[in-house]
Amino acid sequence: MKNGLYSIHIQMGDGVKGRASGVIMLCDGRLLGGDSYFWSVGSYTVKDGSWKGDLVTNQHTRYHDPTARPVFAGREVTTGFTGTWRDDCSEVFGTSLVGSRSVSFRATLRRLAD
């Protein structure tokens, strides 16, 4: 993975209906990112076309829609992931621990800028 700003698009698994899109900054093993409701910090390592890491996600803004049922629902969530990368794109698979429940996800990243 090259250092830079990436778009990220996440699709939840395990029968959970959820998705998210945002941006993530990768810089020398550190990860910072977020979207309209959540922010994340973490670390990663890269080796031979693959990478792995972990991050912690927190909510910064409450949902205004009373019918919305956010998967993370204001909790601090820990996540581990592994993925592959080529050129300016990556595909990632991981698991987030939401309370006592594990939720899998798939994400795609595309490099936007240095």
Residue 97 tokens, joined = 């621990």
Provide the pLDDT for residue 73.
Answer: 73
Phi, psi of 65 (to 5 degrees): -85, 115
Name 102's Cβ contacts closer than 8 Å, sequence gap at least 6. 14, 95, 96
Q: Are 3 and 27 in contact (CB under 8 A)?
A: yes
The model's pLDDT over 86-100, given as tens digits with 9 standing for 90+, comes to 999 999 999 999 888
Domains of the chain: 4-113 (2.40.128.380)
Provide the pLDDT for residue 58.
Answer: 94
Provide the CA 60 distance to its chain's centre, in angstroms: 15
Provide the pLDDT for residue 18.
Answer: 83
pLDDT tens for the chain, 114 residues long, are 899 999 999 999 988 888 899 999 999 999 999 999 999 999 999 999 999 999 999 999 887 877 776 777 778 999 999 999 999 999 999 999 988 889 999 999 999 999
Provide the pLDDT for residue 112.
Answer: 98
